[in-house]
């Protein structure tokens, strides 16, 4: 099997290269090209790079290439600010290490059953990815032992600082072996992060990737928040109501091009796959069929679609969000040609919010949230097409024989001709009902809950019913409002803009949260620890007394000033 020479020359192990080829990785991004050789030879690294530049592969590939398969205790520890990112990074490690024998990676975060994590740690894992609070819990229990740790990575360090985890991070760093390799990645480099780098990274190699901003003209960009399991249903519903001339649908892997093209073809769309495994002759023939209008949809990988310039491509559909922002810009550059306006649609899984924000920065424009087409919209479109087929047939075909047959049937059976026509129409529309009723999964939302803070006007226009919880942590536990916000937003997956007023007292605190919290969020809320103290959240009807509140926090990011009294 041929491996990518670009990643091979950077020092990536053959087994990892095989996985990269299957994942569709062709060229290393700038952060990968600069970081992989440094980490591969054991250097400490301080990296400044935005989300969406390929940071995960930049540290995962070289560290996995140096992994010892005879050691089942943790060799790599990655700290992330949120559980969503922890899961995402752990999944990436698993994908890259698919051909490493006996490899195990474990994501660790609050809200997950502690017993499950303890069992996994006892069985043995080489890579642990987790949030600082839960990592400290395991260190305190001695269920996570770092004595043989080879490398530690701080991912999105500035986010951990913003969420109030920086003290926990320093405590974890202090618990790692002195000879442990260290890497820190951050989009910005505030003084507190620079201080950590100085204290724990020594004299590291530095890599800086300047944030690129690209203006994409003449392209309307929209996105839909949707879970992976609902993507195909969402795609087919959008294709039914979205008027397009020709379209490229981008996926990440070669196998996905074949799978998705086959499924679309089975649903009546003129679609074919375009990937690097096709011969040059077959590739050219497929592209020419799209140009002539014999095909309407190409399902392609980034590399296979490179250089395509076809005027009739009106839409680019990002079925899989790209790993880096440059790939996104290249993708949507396939539309909006010859002075025409193009349209780009992006599917975003809930765990991919950061990539969405990075894309908005790169293109210098926000993507517009779109709604999934409703049952009525699809019904209206199908009825329009049905009417057109009928009228076209009436104009173009000789129906005298069929009319005579139906008139005889109506006479013999004493049927109304309108009823006969309705029965025929019913049979005709069975495979594609004219009045479909679709279940609306919770995954289909108009926009991400993290899209923007709401202003006071927003809150007054759409008030959210709030209730008050008492937490068993307060001033004497050295807790600050930002610690409470960070812990609840991270561990219970409650958007920070839905966290209301916070009052601090000596031995406890109160926080206002939405009344209609999902059961899963309430369950996670009970398991949260802040600065190693369980919060023991309990619902109270009114904010508790017991002292003057300090630094209360309001939803939407507003803070009330301390009273002069």
**pLDDT tens for residues 159-188?**
888 888 888 999 999 999 999 999 999 988
Of 367, 278, 279, 365, nearest in space to 318 by CA = 367
At 392 the pLDDT is: 84
Mean of all residue pLDDT scores within the chain: 82
Please give the average per-residue pLDDT across 295-314, as a whole number. Answer: 84
At 310 the pLDDT is: 83
Beta strands in 19-165 (DSSP E): 45-48, 76-79, 105-108, 127-130, 151-154
Cβ contacts of residue 153 below 8 Å, gap of 6+? Answer: 59, 63, 76, 77, 78, 79, 182, 183, 184, 185
At 438 the pLDDT is: 65
Of 422, 424, 525, 419, nearest in space to 470 by CA = 525
At 463 the pLDDT is: 58
At 439 the pLDDT is: 60
Q: Does domain 219-369 have CATH number 3.40.50.720?
A: no
Please give the average per-residue pLDDT across 234-260, as a whole number. Answer: 90
CATH architecture of 456-557: 2-Layer Sandwich (3.30)
Domain 5-208: which CATH number of 3.40.50.300, 3.40.50.150, 3.40.190.10, 3.90.1300.10: 3.40.50.300
**Residue 337 clears pLDDT 70, i.e. is over it:** no
Is 323:351 a contact under the CB 8 Å cutoff? no
**Is the fold of 5-208 the same as that of 456-557?**
no
Cβ contacts of residue 366 below 8 Å, gap of 6+? Answer: 360
pLDDT tens per residue across span 182-215: 999 998 888 889 899 999 998 899 998 876 555 5
Please give the average per-residue pLDDT across 345-362, as a whole number. Answer: 86
At 328 the pLDDT is: 87
- Vertex 319, ends 317 and 325: CA angle to 5°? 80
At 462 the pLDDT is: 45
pLDDT tens per residue across span 279-299: 878 888 898 899 889 999 999
373 or 319, higher pLDDT:
319
pLDDT tens per residue across span 444-499: 444 433 333 333 333 334 456 788 989 999 888 888 887 888 788 776 667 767 78
At 536 the pLDDT is: 86
Of 238, 233, 245, nearest in space to 223 by CA = 238
Domain boundaries, the chain: 5-208, 219-369, 375-428, 456-557
At 88 the pLDDT is: 82
Of 428, 345, 320, 324, nearest in space to 382 by CA = 428
At 353 the pLDDT is: 81
363 or 125, higher pLDDT:
125
Of 87, 92, 101, 146, nearest in space to 121 by CA = 146
DSSP 497: G
At 161 the pLDDT is: 87
Of 150, 147, 195, nearest in space to 169 by CA = 195
Provide the residue count of the chain.
Answer: 565
């Amino acid at each position: 099997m041929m491996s990518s020479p670009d990643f091979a020359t950077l020092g990536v192990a053959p087994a990892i290269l095989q996985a990269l080829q299957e994942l569709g990785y062709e060229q290393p991004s700038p952060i990968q090209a600069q970081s992989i050789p440094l980490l591969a030879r054991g250097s400490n690294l301080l990296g400044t790079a935005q989300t969406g530049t390929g940071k995960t592969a930049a540290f995962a590939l070289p560290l996995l290439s140096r992994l010892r398969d005879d050691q089942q205790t943790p060799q790599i520890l990655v700290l992330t600010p949120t559980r969503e990112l922890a899961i995402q990074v752990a999944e990436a490690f698993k994908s890259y290490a698919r051909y490493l024998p006996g490899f195990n990676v474990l994501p660790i975060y609050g809200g997950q059953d502690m017993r499950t994590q303890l069992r996994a740690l006892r069985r043995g894992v080489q890579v642990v990815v987790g949030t600082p609070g839960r990592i400290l819990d395991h260190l305190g229990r001695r269920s996570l032992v770092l004595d043989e740790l080879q490398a530690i990575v701080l991912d999105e360090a500035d986010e951990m600082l913003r969420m109030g985890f920086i003290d926990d991070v320093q405590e974890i760093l202090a618990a790692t072996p002195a000879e442990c390799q260290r890497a820190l990645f951050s989009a910005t480099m505030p003084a507190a992060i620079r201080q950590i780098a100085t204290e724990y990274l020594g004299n590291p190699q530095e890599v800086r990737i300047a944030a690129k901003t690209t203006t994409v003209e003449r392209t309307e960009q929209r996105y839909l928040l949707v879970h992976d399991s609902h993507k195909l249903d969402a795609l087919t519903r959008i294709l039914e109501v979205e008027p397009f001339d020709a379209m490229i649908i981008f996926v990440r892997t070669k196998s996905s091009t074949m799978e998705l093209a086959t499924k679309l073809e089975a649903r009546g769309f003129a679609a074919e796959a375009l990937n690097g495994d096709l011969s040059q002759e077959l590739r050219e023939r497929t592209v020419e069929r799209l140009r002539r209008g014999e095909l309407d949809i190409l399902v392609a990988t980034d590399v296979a679609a490179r250089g395509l310039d076809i005027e009739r491509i009106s839409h680019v559909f990002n079925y899989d969000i790209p790993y880096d922002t440059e790939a996104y810009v290249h993708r949507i550059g396939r539309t909006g040609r010859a002075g025409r306006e193009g349209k780009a649609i992006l599917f975003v899984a809930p765990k991919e919010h950061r990539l969405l924000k990075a894309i908005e920065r790169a293109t210098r424009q926000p993507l517009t949230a779109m709604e999934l087409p409703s049952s009525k919209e699809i019904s209206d479109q199908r009825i329009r097409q049905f009417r057109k087929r009928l009228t076209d047939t009436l104009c173009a075909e000789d129906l005298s024989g069929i009319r005579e047959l139906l008139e005889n049937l109506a006479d013999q059976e004493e049927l109304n001709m309108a009823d006969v026509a309705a029965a025929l129409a019913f049979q005709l529309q069975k495979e594609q009902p004219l009045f479909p009723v679709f279940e609306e999964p919770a995954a289909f939302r108009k926009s991400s809950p993290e899209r923007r803070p709401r202003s006071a006007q927003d809150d007054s226009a759409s008030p959210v019913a709030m209730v008050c919880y008492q937490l068993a942590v307060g001033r004497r536990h050295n807790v600050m409002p930002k610690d409470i916000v960070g812990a609840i937003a991270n561990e219970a997956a409650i958007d920070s803009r839905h966290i209301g007023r916070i009052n601090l007292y000596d031995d406890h605190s109160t926080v206002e949260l939405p009344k209609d919290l999902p059961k899963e969020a309430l369950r996670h809320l009970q398991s949260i620890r802040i600065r190693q103290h369980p919060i023991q959240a309990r619902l109270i009807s009114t904010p508790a007394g017991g002292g003057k509140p300090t630094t209360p926090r309001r939803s939407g990011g507003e803070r009330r000033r301390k009273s002069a009294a």
